[in-house]
Amino acid sequence: MEKYLAAVVQMTSTPDLDTNLQQAYDLASLAVRRGASLVCLPENFAFLGSETDKLNQAAEIAAASEKFLRAAAREWQVTVLGGGYPVPVDAQVPVRAVYNTALLVGPDGKDLGRYRKLHLFDVDLPDGNTYRESDSVRPGELAPVVEAGMLGRIGLSVCYDLRFPELYRALAAQGAEILLVPSAFTAFTGKDHWRVLLQARAIENTCYVLAPAQTGQHYERRQTYGHALIVDPWGTVLADAGDACGVAIAEIDAARVEQVRRQLPVLRHRRL
């Protein structure tokens, strides 16, 4: 891994696929113009609407998302993460369920890694909102760490996975140096948990954590927290996108990972 700039994109996606992809293009293009070699888009970057509409349009969303990611990576000659979009479980039958899929694409437009969200967001929050991701999404499994050349070894996850530290420890045990956490964190939980959980995952695994995010009001019943972050292996927040659409950019440095792992060799001290 060499020194390079990475960007986390913050969006307000809606149920309009074309508008979302244009917003993603504009923000990612901004990140590239500022020198980013790795550009990370959030969960639901292409579509954020009702579960019924998502299922009805899943095949279209999946095809458009993957076409967009590959074309953008080739155009800009950078690595692009599409942080989460619905992919039908079985393309041969009418869509009844999808995988929440994150795709990492290299500068040549070829897939580097694909991850299907493992932990599904089924919760009843104190603010009165209920979420049942498992009604329409099937769980995936741990994905291998991606060997991304000069970008280093990258571990993939999505949003609610952030609350399960064993997933990130498994990625670190595979050699991950960078953990990607594309998200659409709720406004209610984000204000208390988002930043501290991202810092914890960085500190306990001595990895960079890159967390692109959704922000604002997406449709009548969905509001997200924002604050796309880049955190270094010591837990220091290097960049924060705040609560507006935009990008946060920071330098990723292999020497920093090595330095922290020498000072705090927690990965070598594990007993469980």
| pLDDT beyond 90 at 243 | yes
Query: Could you give the CA distance from residue 31 to residue 215 in angstroms, rounded to a whole number?
Result: 18
Q: pLDDT: is 178 or 125 the higher one?
A: 178
| pLDDT beyond 70 at 231 | yes
Residue-level pLDDT at 92 = 66
Active-site position among 40, 54, 117, 177: 117
Residue 159 catalytic?
A: yes
Residue-level pLDDT at 84 = 94
Residue 40 catalytic?
A: no
Residue-level pLDDT at 1 = 78
Residue-level pLDDT at 129 = 78
The answer to whether residues 81 and 113 touch, using CB atoms and an 8 Å cutoff, is no
Residue-level pLDDT at 12 = 97
Percent of the chain, pLDDT > 70?
Answer: 98
Query: Could you give the CA distance from residue 90 to residue 135 in angstroms, rounded to a whole number?
Result: 16
Q: What is the pTM of this model?
A: 0.95
Residue-level pLDDT at 122 = 87
Residue-level pLDDT at 240 = 98
| pLDDT beyond 80 at 18 | yes
Active-site position among 159, 177, 207, 245: 159
User: Tell me: the pLDDT tens digits for 116-142?
Assistant: 999 999 888 887 778 888 889 999 999
| pLDDT beyond 90 at 193 | yes
CATH class name, domain 4-269: alpha beta
Query: Could you give the CA distance from residue 242 to residue 43 in angstroms, rounded to a whole number?
Result: 17
| Interacting residues of 258 by C-beta distance below 8 A, sequence separation 6+ | none
Tokens representing 70? 């590959």
Residue-level pLDDT at 2 = 80
Q: pLDDT band for position 95 (50/70/90)?
A: low
Can you tell me which residue has the tokens 């990607």?
Answer: 180
Residue 3 catalytic?
A: no
User: Tell me: the pLDDT tens digits for 58-91?
Assistant: 999 999 999 999 999 999 999 999 999 999 998 6
Q: Where are the domains of the chain?
A: 4-269
Q: pLDDT band for position 94 (50/70/90)?
A: low
